[in-house]
Homo-oligomer: A and B are copies of this chain.
């Protein structure tokens, strides 16, 4: 029974890693589409998001099934509950990648990113992709170091997010109203994407330390 349970937990972990891999692909494609106005790549992200949703829903069913059959307690129980929370965050990260792709598609053949902000969004994209890759490896390895790195990378994302507002509100800004709307939304999506990764990293960390309450949200 115990052995079956450990096998099932390993299956849950494998599935989380698989979903994180799809999220990494989605944000890689979405930020590339966004920064290079590649509408077919944007379409691919939008078309593929349902796969993340389906895998997350199927993982949730497995986790609930494990709760019902194995009736885990203590740390084992918290691992299964965490998997449910992590899957919800991954699913949301997929949505945010899709939103970034939708901005690229809506504006096509125009460029979404105003010239002044191209380096900023390139760096925001690079960081979100980096964070997604680290998140996948964190779910594989549960490395405390990776969790710390994700939190540091998120601080950089937050700074860049604020700098977008400084730029569009600055005196040298030359963009129009639609540039401001797109940049505001796009920056927010990039920031929330990283936030969810931090939220997952905290859950993995606190599972290890046992200090659970703080990690609940």
Contacts and interface: CB of A to CB of B under 8 A. Distances in A.
Interface stretch (A17-25, A71-79, A145-153): A71-79
Interface residues of A, number: 34
A168 B177 CA distance: 7
A60 B216 contact: yes
Contact of A56 (B53, B88, B181, B217): B217
A77 B77 CA distance: 13
Nearest to A168: B177
A57 B217 contact: yes
A107 to B, nearest CB: 12
A177 B181 contact: no
A184 interface: yes
26 contacts: A57-B213, A57-B216, A60-B213, A60-B216, A61-B213, A61-B216, A64-B78, A67-B67, A67-B77, A67-B81, A68-B73, A68-B77, A71-B71, A81-B84, A85-B88, A91-B217, A168-B177, A168-B181, A169-B177, A169-B178, A177-B180, A180-B180, A180-B181, A184-B184, A185-B188, A188-B188
A165 interface: yes
A108 interface: no
A13 to B, nearest CB: 19
